[in-house]
Amino acid sequence: MLELTTASLDAFIKHLREQEYSPATIAKYAHDVQTLIQYAPEGIRDKEHLNSFRAWLEDKGYSGASVNSMLGAVNCYLAFLGSDWRLKYVRVQRRAFLPADRELNRKEYESLVSAALEQGDRRLALIVQTLCALGLRISELKAVTVESLAAGEASIHNKGKLRTILIPDALCRKLRAWCHERGIRAGCVFVTRTGRALDRSNVWKMLKRLAEAARVLKKKVFPHNLRHLFARTHYERFKDIVRLADILGHSSIDTTRIYTARSGKEERRQLGQLRLIL
């Protein structure tokens, strides 16, 4: 019997914080483990009982990708508990192209920047450009500091790893000018009125409002989609997936492949070039 207690979940959350997981990831992992506890409030009886958790999730209507995401969190929790039990993932074939209603293209990205400037929100225009030009996770935006602009590079701590990214000269100039005008002499470039670094919630809300002003589908406009646009643009230009994985901070190139998926429109165009319809 494997007991699932609130105390162990609290200890797991503390462990994730110590490993420098982002607040959003910690919240998701906590939710997923709570789902496991909901499934088995009295604990896991045996391996067969644990394995039926996957079928239980599928019966609730979760997609294969969502199930796998939740199983990843649960497996992390099981490892933390010192258990040898692990859940096998649902076998889902990777989609070769992005659905049109999820892909943020360059024209839409430019519309977002333009809309922010037209509204007089220069800070938001710079945030959008910084996230996209550097391929950052939203939790990594705080790594863009006055000190990093002086060095031309930023050191990013994420999930217990440290990586260094270069900041393009054009972006450095824009951000240095912003800091000079706003009297920001040290620390994070993008801060709240009280001087704290902007977090995921702040930026998410601003982007949703911006999407409406730019007339871009709201479901396309979220911080991580700017990271995907960076990845696709970088890969299309340089065709170096190993270097791209390093820039994005991916441990596996398989993860990077997901980021470089083409649009359905481009996939259809290439299939047409095969000229196999007689």
Q: What is the pLDDT of residue 26?
A: 93
* pLDDT on residue 100: 74
Nearest to 150 by CA among 164, 169, 135, 163: 169
Report the pLDDT value the prediction gives residue 27, as an integer from 0 to 100.
Answer: 94
Tell me, letter by letter, the H, E, C secondary structure of 152-180. CEEEEEECCEEEEEECCHHHHHHHHHHHH
Half-sphere exposure of 191 (CA within 13 A, CB side): 16
What pLDDT is attached to residue 97?
A: 64
Q: Which pLDDT does position 21 carry in this prediction? A: 87
Structural domains of the chain ordered from first start: 6-81 (1.10.150.130), 106-268 (1.10.443.10)
Q: What is the pTM of this model?
A: 0.71
Contact 164, 158 (CB under 8 A): no
Q: DSSP for 91-137?
A: --PPPSEE-TTT---HHHHHHHHHHHHHTT-HHHHHHHHHHHHHT--
Q: What is the mean pLDDT of each run of 10 residues along the chain (278 residues)?
A: 92 93 91 95 92 92 89 95 92 68 92 98 98 95 97 90 94 97 95 88 93 95 95 94 94 85 71 78
Determine the pLDDT at residue 170. 96
Model pLDDT, residue 63: 86
SS3 content of the chain, % helix, strand, coil (to 5): 60, 10, 30
The pLDDT value given to residue 246:
94
Buried b (16+ CB within 10 A) or exposed e, 78-89: beeeeeebebee
Instruction: Supply the pLDDT for residue 252.
Output: 86
Q: Which two tokens stand for residue 3?
A: 């007991």
